[in-house]
Amino acid sequence: MSTLFISDIHLSQGRPDMTAALVRFLEHDAPGADALYVLGDLFEFWIGDDDPNPLHREVAEAFLALSQQGVPLYFIHGNRDFLLGRQFAKRAGMTLLGDPCVIELYGERVLLSHGDLLCTRDEGYQKFRRITQLKWLRWLFLRLPLTRRRAIACKMRGQSQMENATKQQAIMDVTPAAVDDMLRQHDCRMMIHGHTHRPAIHDFSLDGRGARRIVLGDWFEQGSVLVCSPAGQRLETRTLC
């Protein structure tokens, strides 16, 4: 009996090793799980469900095969794949969740998020995020030709990489006060998120009581999986080869 959590795989055609590792995980590790949650940035970028990229079809088929074995699949959007829509989710057998959302995990209320909402010290990024959440802007973008969308996504990705290279690491991490506020708002003592690529289990005090924040890792050098059971939580790694 276990529930699995992953995030920040950042799949792309340039990293077939990561795709192979994820497919292997879905085929050999995930069957029999109570559920699998993907907390964002499954893909390096997403320009629309109508993108005929063969990688998307391969990944959707792997998730669907797991879903057909009776494992519930859930997805929270990341900052890289926030345009992933219902069409792909249906092909993959996934249920889309809001960010943040609360689940019941073996008798405990647990707050799930991709994690970028918590990085409030990165004011430039938060402004960008608010813009990308505008429904009318998304509607317009998804009606551009695929070639135009791909060019825009590549340009934005390049700009993001340049900006992140000059930012202080502390700015790109979560703000403790934002974590506390979100837990209070949703009446939870545990949070699971990704985004920062800093896998760890943080125990701390919130209003005089114990609380826990679990950070998922990325899949750049090795896979990162959180395994939760009635006995507790543990972060595990998976090899890419």
The strands making up 209-215's β-sheet, listed across from edge to edge, are 101-105, 108-113, 190-193, 209-215, 200-206
**Model confidence at 94: pLDDT above 70:** yes
Look at residue 163 and tell me whether its pLDDT is greater than 70. Answer: no
Q: Does residue 241 have a pLDDT over 90? A: no
Annotated binding residues for Mn(2+), written as ranges, equal: 8, 10, 41, 79, 114, 195, 197
Amino acid (one-letter) located at 211: A
Mean pLDDT of 103-131: 94
Cα-flanking dihedrals φ and ψ of residue 97, to 5°? -115, 155
Identify whether the C-beta of residue 111 lies closer than 8 Å to the C-beta of residue 191.
yes
Percentage of residues in the chain having pLDDT higher than 70: 96
115, 191 contact by CB (below 8 A): no
CATH number at residue 185: 3.60.21.10
The overall average pLDDT reported for the chain is: 94
What's the pLDDT score for residue 165?
65
Q: How high is the pLDDT of residue 157?
A: 81
Per-residue confidence band for 146, with pLDDT thresholds at 50, 70 and 90: very high
Report the relative pairing of strands 101-105 and 108-113 from DSSP bridges.
antiparallel
The SS3 of residue 45 is: coil
Integer Cα distance of 22 and 235 in angstroms: 16
Question: Which residues 6+ apart lie within 8 Å of 229 measured at CB?
Answer: 1, 2, 3, 106
Provide the number of structural domains found in the chain.
Answer: 1
| Whether the Cβ atoms of residue 38 and residue 76 lie closer than 8 Å to each other | yes
Compute the distance between CA of residue 131 and CA of residue 120 in angstroms, rounded to an integer.
Answer: 15
pLDDT for residue 100: 97
pTM: 0.94
150 φ, ψ (degrees, to nearest 5): -65, -40
| Residue set of the binding site for substrate | 79-80, 122, 160, 164, 167, 195
Domain that holds residue 118: 3-238
Q: What is the pLDDT of residues 214-237, one digit of tens each?
A: 999 999 999 999 999 999 999 999
